[in-house]
Amino acid sequence: MRIVSGIQPTGNLHLGNYLGAIRNWVAMQDEWTARGATCLYFLADLHAISMPHDPAGLGANTREMVAALVSCGIDPDRSILFNQAQVPAHAELQWLLNGTARMGWLNRMTQWKDKAGKNREGASVALFTYPVLQAADVLLYQATHVPVGEDQKQHLELARDIAQKFNNDFASEDAPVFTLPDPIIPPEAARIMSLRDGSAKMSKSDPSDMSRINLVDDADTIMQKVKKAKTDPEPLPSEAEGLEGRPEARNLVGIYATMAGTDVAGVLAQFGGQGFGQFKPALGDLLVSKLAPMAARYRELREDRAALDAILARGAEKARALAVPTLDAAYAALGLVR
């Protein structure tokens, strides 16, 4: 079993990032490396240049994201943690796969349609071929399982289509070049919403810092933000149906459930009938107890640039070695002389 997943580097990590992707990566690492599987986790910095970006910010975000991942439990001794830019095989394999991917396939990608919007002529070519790089990311390592959010399922299906067509066109049936990867979508992919508006995703770009819990927030700040979180005047219901039409209440209950490792029903069994005056302090305490140790590590590690660069260098070295056989096989299958 080989697990491969990537995340775009962003700065100012918050609870939504943690409960979205990071926590799931840590769980997979803990579960699967113990059984002899290899987990490769990388910062998709090459993907980040498909949209207008600030070069200084990209470097800072890449290091900040590594600090966050390690603080939250990704262990660079057990997982291979690296950034794409230090493993040229990603870009090389993308070019080789560009010969197999079809314009029609890429034209159907919803992320391309959403991000390019009405201005397709002005979109970067990188944005269009983004899913081919993503296919290269996973096919390069013979990934069997790729943990992703629901929104990336289509890109994974494309990776499978590319792998299949390449194998068909250029490999013999008994010696395929690529493994077809399976997506792993977390069951209730935690959608964490803004603390100020239960219908908007928690986001680092929300102008109000009160809308999110940052990974660097200290205990007082967390308690304050939870206390000030938007709610409604009703007490909590005793059943999940009672959260219908109450997005803010649903969000806070959802956050509690994910942090406590239970589900909405479990939280409501405990807090149903109570008002937010009682529930919010309990939620704040829970968040502080779970996040404080990670936040402390994060605040320290993000300042230690040498340590972060060393982690990335070591991960990239391991990734480069793992990539060799597949990249060689792909060049050879295409008849390229090197």
Which are the catalytic amino acids?
115, 201, 204
Nearest CA-CA partner of 27 in 39, 17, 16, 13: 39
75 Cβ contact partners less than 8 Å away, ≥ 6 residues apart: 29
Q: Which is nearer to ligand TRP, 64 or 137 (CB)?
A: 137
Using the CB atoms, write b or e for 211-238: b if 16+ within 10 Å: bbbbbbbeeebbbebbeebbbeeebbbe
Question: 3-class secondary structure for 47-59?
Answer: HHCCCCCCHHHHH
CB of 278 to ligand TRP, least distance (A): 37
Strand partners, 4: 40
Choose one: 146-154, 248-256, 299-307, 322-330; the region binding ligand TRP (CB under 6 A). 146-154
x/- string (CB under 6 A) for ligand TRP, residues 62-101?
----------------------------------------
Out of 152, 211, 214, 251, point to the residue binding ligand TRP (CB under 6 A): 152
Q: How far is the CB of 131 from ligand TRP (least distance, A)?
A: 8
Residue 183 found at the interface with ligand TRP (CB under 6 A): no
- Residue closest to ligand TRP, measured at CB: 6
The annotated binding site for ATP is made up of 8-10, 16-17, 149-151, 192, 201-205
**By C-beta, is 138 or 213 nearer to ligand TRP?**
138
- Out of 50, 61, 79, 134, point to the residue binding ligand TRP (CB under 6 A): 134
By CB under 6 A, tell whether 319 contacts ligand TRP. no
Among residues 19, 26, 89, 138, the one that binds ligand TRP under rule CB under 6 A: 138
Minimum CB–partner distance for residue 122 and ligand TRP (Å): 21
Asked whether the beta carbons of 68 and 215 are under 8 A apart, the reply is yes
| For ligand TRP, the closer CB: 42 or 271 | 42
Binders of ligand TRP in range 245-304 (CB under 6 A): none
Residue window 203-242: x/- pattern of binding to ligand TRP, with contact defined by CB under 6 A: ----------------------------------------
Q: Least distance in Å: CB of 222 to ligand TRP?
A: 26
| Cα distance between residue 186 and residue 268, in whole Å | 22
Q: Does 146 bind ligand TRP (CB under 6 A)?
A: yes
| Three-state DSSP class for residue 140 | coil
Closest among 70, 59, 79, 56 to 9, alpha carbons compared: 59
End-to-end CA distance of the chain: 31
Locate 215 and state its tokens. Answer: 């990974």
CA distances for 186 relative to 22, 98, 147, 152, 264, angstroms: 12, 30, 7, 12, 16
Report the residue number, 14 or 47, with the smaller CB distance to ligand TRP: 47
Pairing of strands 38-43, 2-7: parallel
String of DSSP letters for 151-220:
GGHHHHHHHHHHHHHHHHHHS-TTS-SSPPPEEE--TT---PBPSS-TTSB--TT-S-GGGS-BTT--HH
Binding site listing = 8-10, 16-17, 137, 149-151, 192, 201-205
Pairing of strands 182-184, 2-7: unpaired
Q: Which is nearer to ligand TRP, 111 or 274 (CB)?
A: 111
**What is the phi/psi pair of residue 35, to 5°?**
-100, 15
Query: Cα angle at 298 between 297 and 301, to 5 degrees?
Result: 80
Site for ligand TRP in 1-20 (CB under 6 A): 4-8
List binders of ligand TRP among 22-51 (CB under 6 A). 44, 47
| Min CB(42)–ligand TRP separation in Å | 7
* Contact footprint for ligand TRP (CB under 6 A): 4-8, 44, 47, 134, 137-138, 146, 148, 152
